[in-house]
Amino acid sequence: MKNTKLFRLLAVLLAITLVAAACGSDAAEDTADGGDDAAATDSGDDSSGDDSSGDDSSGDDGGDTDTVTVTQGSVLATVLDRGEVNCGIPTSAVGFAEQDANGVWAGFDVDYCHAVAAAVFGDRDAVNFVPLTAAERFTAVQTGEVDLLMRTTTWTQGRDASGDQAMDFGPTTFYDGQQLVGRRSQGFSESSTIADVDGTNVCTNAGTTTEKNISDGVAAVGGSFTLVAAEDIPTAVEAFVAGQCDIFTSDGSAVAGEAAVNEDNADGDWVVFPATPISKEPLGPVYPQNDSEWGDIINWVVFATIIADEKGIDSSNAADRLADEQAKAAAGGEGLDAEVLRLLGGEGELQSALNLPADAFLNVISQVGNYDEIYVSNVTERIGLVREGSANAGWLDGGLIYAPPAR
């Protein structure tokens, strides 16, 4: 940290220019212009046919080819120098990132931005939120516009691979899967399947795995459909509400979130299907490629929230738990939970070894909360999804939320 200038110099030296797949906004603009332009009848191989899909090897987010400057290394030094974390978030995703009338952001992804700020600066508010559409998000990581992307982003092989994409992925914070919503009055029910998509108009947002999955899935059952790709989820839902689409599809959390906030529109007529999602959507942090120092920080902030949850440490008791463990250590160690002591910075150099303050995770938990608090306050209370029985339960409860030990 003392070598801030050196780090910055190195960052400049390491900045390399790559030809990368830009996330074209064409699809979104076309849709905004009139919907039909963006629609493409899907009949198999060329899948969605939307502008954002492209045919590049990078996966689902290509399109036009632009030159972007990719910064590698020294993100921590840059962030410390700036005094805040630039954190990319959804423009609007129920329970994950929503802005109130005063401009204040809240949500599951927003809280993980706060958590990183609390770890680095001891101040959950040392964060600058950068709302990004799905099509914009990866360029923002690759160019260094954001230090961290917490934007309902699915970890895929193509996005993670070195090369054009130039990004790394952290631990999954939310295990999701793609679902669809249709209207009962149009014959859809809980037992509808992907085969029932045949012949329909389907709304979603551009630049997503969502487009690819629905295209692959419908083609695999020999069907075809018309994709209406909007710039963002609210626009896609508006089109569904207006009857321009028979089906709205997205990550299950977004489908459930939109059903929750559109009760009037839904009026009992909306039905989510199929029961088992059509894809795996492991959502989590994304950051610039090849920066182990920064990647380790992001990863261990996430793990700290999970370990705290396992240990029953939350925002109301973290400081007391540290004091208790310190007292036990001072009294000879009887009853001591050494991992809690280490996690909260009361012993050892674990956080210092990450180039963070020793009390970094104490600040994360006190100022933002543990995994369960973050999940419940945003996802359960806003959308109605519970952890119990889902992949987002802790590993001891049959779920997938798991962290390596703080040792």
Ligand X SMILES: N[C@@H](CCC(=O)N[C@@H](CS)C(=O)NCC(=O)O)C(=O)O
Q: Which is nearer to ligand X, 152 or 367 (CB)?
A: 152
CB 275 to ligand X: min, Å: 19
CA 37, 186, 180, 112 torsion-angle sign: positive
Is 136 a residue that touches ligand X (CB under 6 A)?
Answer: no
Q: Which stretch binds ligand X (CB under 6 A): 27-35, 90-98, 219-227, 393-401?
A: 90-98
Is 355 a residue that touches ligand X (CB under 6 A)?
Answer: no
What would the two tokens of residue 76 be?
A: 């921590």
Residues 291-320: x/- map of binding to ligand X (CB under 6 A)?
A: ------------------------------
Residue 268: count other Cβ atoms within 10 Å of its Cβ: 8
d(CA 243, CA 246): 7
CB 289 to ligand X: min, Å: 17
Is 78 a residue that touches ligand X (CB under 6 A)?
Answer: no
Is 233 a residue that touches ligand X (CB under 6 A)?
Answer: yes
Is 20 a residue that touches ligand X (CB under 6 A)?
Answer: no
Q: Which member of 136, 164, 168, 232 binds ligand X (CB under 6 A)?
A: 232
Q: Is 137 helix (H, G, I), strand (E, B) or coil?
A: helix
Q: Which stretch binds ligand X (CB under 6 A): 16-24, 32-40, 89-97, 194-202?
A: 89-97
User: CB–CB of 49/40 below 8 Å?
Assistant: yes
Q: Which long-range contacts (CB under 8 A, 24 or more apart) does 157-161 make?
A: 157/59, 158/57, 158/58, 158/59, 158/60, 159/58, 159/59, 159/61, 159/286, 161/58
Is 133 a residue that touches ligand X (CB under 6 A)?
Answer: yes
Could you list the beta-strand ranges (E) of 341-397.
none
Is 139 a residue that touches ligand X (CB under 6 A)?
Answer: no
Is 53 a residue that touches ligand X (CB under 6 A)?
Answer: no
CA trace torsion 137, 292, 373, 95 (10° rounding): 10
Q: Which member of 152, 213, 215, 305 binds ligand X (CB under 6 A)?
A: 152
Compute how many residues bind ligand X; rule: CB under 6 A: 21
CB 258 to ligand X: min, Å: 9
CB 204 to ligand X: min, Å: 8
d(CA 47, CA 219): 8
Task: Considering only residues 253 through 272, tell me which ones interact with ligand X, judged by CB under 6 A.
Answer: 253-254
Q: Which is nearer to ligand X, 91 or 367 (CB)?
A: 91
Is 179 a residue that touches ligand X (CB under 6 A)?
Answer: no
**Short-list 109, 102, 101, CA closest to 377:** 109
- Letter for the amino acid at 127? V
Cβ-in-10-Å burial (0-12, 13-18, 19+) of 388 comes to exposed
d(CA 273, CA 105): 30
Q: Which member of 54, 63, 88, 90 binds ligand X (CB under 6 A)?
A: 90
Is 213 a residue that touches ligand X (CB under 6 A)?
Answer: no
Please report the DSSP string for 272-328 in residue order: EE-SS-SS-EEE--EEETT-HHHHHHHHHHHHHHHHHHHHT--TTTHHHHHHHHHHH
Q: Which member of 31, 71, 78, 91 binds ligand X (CB under 6 A)?
A: 91
Q: Which stretch binds ligand X (CB under 6 A): 206-214, 303-311, 347-355, 384-392?
A: 206-214
Task: Considering only residues 380 through 399, tell me which ones interact with ligand X, judged by CB under 6 A.
Answer: none
Phi, psi of 19 (to 5 degrees): -85, 115
Is 281 a residue that touches ligand X (CB under 6 A)?
Answer: yes
Q: Which is nearer to ligand X, 8 or 280 (CB)?
A: 280
Q: Which member of 21, 23, 87, 93 binds ligand X (CB under 6 A)?
A: 93
d(CA 361, CA 356): 9
Binding site for ligand X (CB under 6 A): 90-93, 133-134, 152-154, 205, 208-210, 232-233, 250-251, 253-254, 281, 283
